[in-house]
Amino acid sequence: MSIDLKQDFFTLFGLPRRYALDESALEAAWHELQSQVHPDRHAHLSDAEKRVSMQWATRVNEGFRILRQPLARAQYLLELAGVDAGLETNTAMSPEFLMEQMEWREAVEEAREAAEVDELEALHRRLLAHAREVRGELAAQLDDERDYEAAADTVRRLMFIDKLQQEIDEALLALEN
């Protein structure tokens, strides 16, 4: 096995370092790499070589997990660009975005309290469409404009959207039971 553990995940999978990603190419590259590094394939080797194989399998799986998730991929691209998105410390958001989030949360809470499954599902669909729009903005910021500071703000917005999406999912699950 001649894989460099220090190479970034895009290089590891033979993909361009971009937010917009060919998911089928990622999956094909992951399957190819898995066939090369899977520990079962190296069971006959020494313990040291088995450990290296396990490190490779872990690295390949971690790369696949990060690159296939849009939010994680964006965070990774920011990290590669040397930009600290301040995800834990920078919670400053525009007043417009904060108002929008409050409105979303109120709508979700009202629908949850009233046990309105149809309304929660409608909110879920609207939020998915909104997330697609924001991911489109993020792709432009990262791939076309290389505006990493704006992209860091957009990543933080997407984190709020993802959290709200999870809250809707949890409310729907609770109403089903």
* Domains of the chain: residue spans and CATH: 9-68 (1.10.287.110), 95-176 (1.20.1280.20)
Q: What is the pLDDT of residue 9?
A: 97
pLDDT digits (tens, 9 = 90+) for 45-101: 788 888 888 888 899 999 999 999 999 999 999 999 999 876 666 667 788 888 988
Residue with the bigger pLDDT between 115 and 37: it is 115
Name the burial class of residue 142, with classes exposed (0-12), middle (13-18) and buried (19+) by CB atoms within 10 angstroms of its CB.
Answer: buried
User: Is pLDDT of 40 > 90?
Assistant: no
CB atoms within 10 A of CB 82: 7
Global confidence as pTM: 0.85
Backbone conformation region of residue 18, classed left if phi is above 0, alpha if psi is from -120 to 50, else beta:
beta
